[in-house]
Amino acid sequence: MFINATRGLIAATVLGVSAVAAQAQDFTPENPECIAPANPGGGWDFTCRQVGKELQDLGLIDKTMQVVNVAGGGGGVAFAEVVNKRADDNDLIVAASSATATRLAQGAYPGNTTDQVRWVASIGADYGVIAVSADSEIETLPQLLDMIKADPRSVSVAGGSAVGGWDHLKVLIAASAYGVEDVRKVKYVAFDGGGEAVTQLLAGSVQAFTGDASEAKGFVDSGDIKVIAVLAPERLEGDFADFPTAKEQGVDAIGANWRGFYAPAGMSDAAYDAWAAKIGELYASDEWQEIMANNGLAPLDLQGAEFEQFVTDSVSEIQNISREIGIIK
């Protein structure tokens, strides 16, 4: 059930551009801004910067997207700022992911709930990876999990989400699938963003990293880390084709992190529809499809009401998983 519930997060994939793409083309943000709710170098930062650049390159916005990093609380500081201070800003979108849904599902943003913002659109699904430093003696996922089985406290795994967050859940999914009896004993160390987590891995402070393909790619390209497992049903294409899945190593674990955006709850309908349409057009472009292939992103094409429903369903699924492992009651 644990793994099946996780698979439910990636079940809703819609092909083609939503009908919302035909609406609200007359709104153009005057000062487009994207908040990345973590330090530079992680998945949220990647989402803002790549989407902002491509929106401008494709002529969907006529000004450079300002990217602002607002780290803290696993995305909670940014969420609270949008709800409390930017509630009617038509020019603002915020990078979000399964990590955002996880924190909301577990009540980790004090006083904040899913319906306090508007969920705009997705730009793909980012499969989880488990990696070690390039010079590590660990070569396979079973080797790492055998070490955890033998002595759970001897292995520290770093991730860019808070304890109980999506990065944490991914390594627990793998450990559970491998037969680790009490996954709550797995030693997870939380950092503000995947970039900071990898930095600690390279410094030798931790033995492994749990994150997403897109945030690991730069460190793979530089030769700093080696991916020992991708949490996908089958091998990814492009630059990630050489990395084995957990499944082919005998660990039946899947973990996909959707990526997308939310906006202030008070954003006008015209602005909301326009942002959803623009991101839908971006998603359908050849340029974005190439970026997805090169960064390990899998298809997930949802805008407007469809994306709102998807996030609501995701939060429900994550609550079920979190109850199973005792993170929430």
Output the CA–CA distances (angstroms, integers) from residue 14 to 8, 111, 310, in the order listed: 14, 32, 11
Round to whole Å and give the CA distance between 15 and 27: 25
DSSP conformation class of 198 = H
Tokens of 321: 């998983």
Architecture category of domain 2-126+256-324 in CATH: 3-Layer(aba) Sandwich (3.40)
What is residue 18's DSSP assignment? -
CB of 39 within 8 A of CB of 90? no
The tokens for 215 are 């945030």
Per-residue confidence of the chain (329 residues) as pLDDT tens digits? 333 334 444 444 333 344 444 444 579 999 999 999 999 988 899 999 999 999 999 999 999 999 999 999 889 999 999 999 999 999 999 999 988 998 999 999 988 999 999 999 999 998 999 999 999 999 999 999 999 999 998 999 999 988 888 899 899 989 988 999 888 889 999 998 888 999 999 999 999 999 988 888 889 999 999 999 999 988 888 888 899 999 999 999 888 889 999 999 999 999 999 999 999 999 999 999 999 988 878 889 999 999 999 999 888 878 877 887 778 88
pTM score, whole prediction: 0.74
CA–CA separation, 149 and 135 (whole Å): 22
User: CB within 8 A of 195, min separation 6: which ones?
Assistant: 38, 39, 40, 41, 42, 45, 160, 215
Query: Is 128-249 the same fold as 2-126+256-324?
Result: yes
**In angstroms, rounded to a whole number, what is the distance separating the alpha carbons of residues 29 and 218?**
31
Q: Residue 25: its pLDDT value, please?
A: 58
Query: How many whole angstroms separate alpha carbon 70 and alpha carbon 39?
Result: 7
CA distance 227 to 216: 8
Instruction: Determine whether 182 is exposed, middle or buried from the number of CB atoms within 10 Å of its CB (0-12, 13-18, 19+).
Output: exposed
**Other Cβ atoms within 10 Å of 103 Cβ, number:** 25
**Domain residue spans of the chain:** 2-126+256-324, 128-249
pLDDT computed for residue 19 by the predictor: 42
CA neighbor of 315 nearest in space, from 171, 37, 109: 109
Whose CA is closest to 129, among 39, 209, 17? 209
Contact 73, 109 (CB under 8 A): yes
How many CA atoms lie less than 13 Å away from 20 in the CB half-sphere?
Answer: 23
Q: Over the range 276-304, which residues count as b (16 or more CB within 10 Å of their CB) and which as e?
A: bbbbbbbbeeeebeebbeebbbbebbbbb
Q: Which CATH number fits domain 128-249: 3.40.50.620, 3.40.190.10, 3.30.930.10, 3.40.710.10?
A: 3.40.190.10
